[in-house]
Amino acid sequence: MKQVCRKRRRFRDWCAIWGSFASRHLWSFALCASLMAIKFGNEHITIKIMEQITIQTDFAKDVLEGLSANPKHLSSKYFYDDTGSKIFQDIMRMPEYYLTDCELEIFETQSDEILNAFTEDGSEFEIIELGAGDGVKTKVLLSHFLNKNCICEYVPIDISEDAVSNLVIDMELQLPGLNIKGKVGDYFKLIDEINTAEKRKKVLLFLGSNIGNFNELESLDFLSKLKDVMHPGDLLFIGFDLKKDPEIILNAYNDPHGHTAAFNLNLLDRINNKLNADFVLQNFRHREIYDPETGTAKSELISITKQKVEIQDLGKAFWFEEGEAIFMEMSQKYDLNMITGLAKKSGFQVVRNFYDKRLYFMNSLWKLK
Ligand X SMILES: C[S@@+](CC[C@H](N)C(=O)[O-])C[C@H]1O[C@@H](n2cnc3c(N)ncnc32)[C@H](O)[C@@H]1O
Footprint of ligand X (CB under 6 A)? 77, 80, 131-133, 137, 157-160, 163, 186-188, 207-208, 210
Q: Of 18 and 214, which CB lies nearer to ligand X in the complex structure?
A: 214
Sign of CA dihedral 87, 92, 98, 99: positive
Q: How far apart are CA 339 and CA 103, in angstroms?
A: 17
Cα 8-9-13 angle, rounded to 5 deg: 115
Q: Of 80 and 320, which CB lies nearer to ligand X in the complex structure?
A: 80
Q: Of 13 and 269, which CB lies nearer to ligand X in the complex structure?
A: 269
Contact 192, 157 (CB under 8 A): no
Q: Of 20 and 213, which CB lies nearer to ligand X in the complex structure?
A: 213
Q: Of 131 and 182, which CB lies nearer to ligand X in the complex structure?
A: 131
DSSP 175-218: -TT--B--EES-HHHHHHHHHHS-SS-EEEEE-TTGGGGS-HHH
In the chain, what is the greatest distance between 2 CA atoms, to the nearest angstrom? 67
Q: Of 59 and 290, which CB lies nearer to ligand X in the complex structure?
A: 59
CB half-sphere exposure, 126, CA atoms < 13 A: 17
Shortest Cβ distance from residue 131 to ligand X (Å)? 3
Antiparallel, parallel or unpaired: β 307-311 and 296-303: unpaired
CB-based contacts of 182, cutoff 8 Å, min separation 6: 155, 156, 157, 158, 164, 165, 167, 168
CB-based contacts of 62, cutoff 8 Å, min separation 6: 74, 75, 78
Shortest Cβ distance from residue 359 to ligand X (Å)? 19
Shortest Cβ distance from residue 5 to ligand X (Å)? 33
Shortest Cβ distance from residue 135 to ligand X (Å)? 7
Shortest Cβ distance from residue 346 to ligand X (Å)? 18
Q: Of 126 and 158, which CB lies nearer to ligand X in the complex structure?
A: 158
Shortest Cβ distance from residue 158 to ligand X (Å)? 5
Shortest Cβ distance from residue 132 to ligand X (Å)? 6
Name which of 137, 77, 112, 122 is nearest 267 in CA terms: 77
